[in-house]
Structure 1
Amino acid sequence: MPAIRAGGPLDAPALTLSHLADPTVGVDQLREELAEFAASYHAWYVGQRSVEVPDWGREAAERILARIREALTRIEAGVRTLCDPDRPELLAAFRIAQRAMLLQMRHSAPDQAGRRRHRSESVAVDPPVDAQATWRPFQLAFFLLALDGVAEPGHRDRETTDLIWFPTGGGKTEAYLLLAAFTIALRRIRGEGDGTTVLSRYTLTALGRSTSRAEVGGNHRNTREIAALAERFRTGGTRPEPPFRSGPLPIVRHYTSDKDLADSIATMATEQPRHRIGVIVNSLRTASDLMRRLERVGLAHDPQLYSSAASSGRYRDLDLIRPGVVVVHRASAKGLDFDTVVVADAESDAATDPTAATLRMAYYVMITRARERLVLGWRGSRVPRHLEELRGCVTMR
């Protein structure tokens, strides 16, 4: 995958937070600047339409270009809505949100809340904000694209879920936070009452330190014991600070049969009725056999089978709140988390070189899905090599 860099009008005044937050900037000036910002995306879109595409790729190209055109239309509509003189509350909420994000960026800097420090160490109470802080183009574009659906309860965009699909560290969190801050301010200005405005669910990722570099400020999901085991499989990257929570040692467990595996999971579910238990498998046969056995047991909560490859229906609609057992293929495990994780069929990796990067990355992801307890299970007559090497940091059963 080639490196991706921000493109577009990177020096445009419309990307500077302090400029967008400034109440002395007139609405006509702001409308012109935002329209110019959107025009640069329009020009890029027109250029893409003139690119020669071979016959075999034209259908896909037209589908993608249609989505780009739709996004462009929504961005341009967002500019008009934001600068509508008949709805001044929108621009007021926008400027409040920009100011809030400026403060957030400053407060999460290393000399503020961006690093751990002793409680006796003093910090500036009201530090000056960075007047040069800027948005990445996609962040502002996302806000403008989503604006109409947020500002108008009856708008057709309310039927659309907008998702930023971007690598970790790209700035998704700040883009979502800007929209959230705007929504909170707008409801307050309109006097729409109390209650929940935004639902946000974070797992491992903490707030980034700035829009130019979003970083994970430590491990907030796992226990120290689980995190230590995961480090045995890390293939690169910066090692996060160890978690503050402790828990039981992870377990490497031998299952004598499919029935033994299912019975063990059913016992966990019975003993911890409020916990979410993720059973991660590498074999679809194991997944279907487990589901069949668990459904016969009559657990308090029906087991779920999840696959990110499914387009819809039972195997795609995962209830992330309900306790109970979730059986998931390891290819679909990233992004999920559970109170307890059982890696059910580690013997499927017995023939793989324990130092192979693909194996190490797979186990790093699976292990770090666990919040409290972790079981690495295997079947057969001999402990797989990659589990045998874990003696000392796990309990062998």
Structure 2
Amino acid sequence: MASWLQIPKNSPFSLANIPFGIISAQSASRSHLGVFSQPTLNAFAALGRPVHRQVREYLQNILKADTSYPQVLKENASLQKSVLLPLSQVTNHVPMQIGDYTDFYAGLNHAYNVGVLFRGPENALQPNYKHLPVAYHGRASSVVPSGTGLHRPNGQILTNPTANPKVPAFSPCKKLDIELELAAFISTPNDLGTPVPIDEAEDHIFGLVLMNDWSARDIQAWEYVPLGPFNAKNFGTTITPWVVLIDALEPFRTEGLEPGNRESLLPYLREKRAANAYEIPLDVEITNQGGKPTQISRSNARNLLYSFSQMVAHHTITGCNLNTGDLLGSGTISGTEPHTEGSLLEQTNGKNPLKLADGSERLFLEDGDTVVLRGMAGTEGNYVGFGDCVGTILPAHPLP
């Protein structure tokens, strides 16, 4: 899809994409009317998928080489100067006001790998795993845009698991980890008490972002029984600031690890089509302070057992009302081969360190490490991607 605007061939934001986000810049005009003058995308998202599609197609037309509306932007030099802003000159923000954040556990290979570490291969997956999308409620207030630094969390850690009685110490996290995920923003809400049918669920999704669900594994190990993660997850979650619409990802739909209409699922979770995943290559890169970047993992979005539609259907089956701006994480997306894992815990088992480009080793993250997640589908000149999901680990705050 050719454009009159010069777009680098390796850009994740080709004309085939047209993502939406919130920016600020001293030179940026805020004179747009209606939903596009708001500080978040919630009002636009709430208009629904047909409107999102119409706006995206209009913007694609505006930017096409053979645009039907050359007078709008292509031939309007003064307007180009005020509305076409280099990314280097703008500040990105969290694109939506997030009321609630739910993190699912739909990465089958990740669930199996972690299960093997703690329960062995025979009991790696819990009995419920292939019957419903498992999830926990996360913390919306600490979701931050790409580029935000995060302090290493302090917390209770069981330094000697074999001791009796078990007594925790209080210290900075020593096993700080990443989780490679996708996440969906909700557009159209549902009423309290009214479940969203599986065949309508996708129309309640605005679009997807990349997400790094940072995890303090040693804090998590002590606190998660019996109610699950809490402080191990609430100190920060990083997302890309550009929301890629579902329509932009449609060409990359593929069958996931298991069909979305498999008979083992209860009827409310069965989708009409088996292709319930996306073919999106995903990369993880670590750069230590002053060093060279090291690619440590390459996975794919097709490594999910459940689709976001199934997550919405299950989340609302009780009558739970999802609201515009709610965020649903996919869970860690890991492959089956070495260096396709979406977390350091899986790659190192806490015992077998990774080597970075400068020769240093990592079991878990150290202060000053910068982690970059990337995801991009398609071909050169027509990529549909999310941009970089970047976070740098800052030292822990002094202990009280």
Shorter-chain TM-score: which interval?
under 0.3
Computing the radius of gyration over CA atoms, which structure comes out larger, 1 or 2?
A: 1
Q: TM-score, normalised by structure 2?
A: 0.22
Structure with the larger strand share: 2
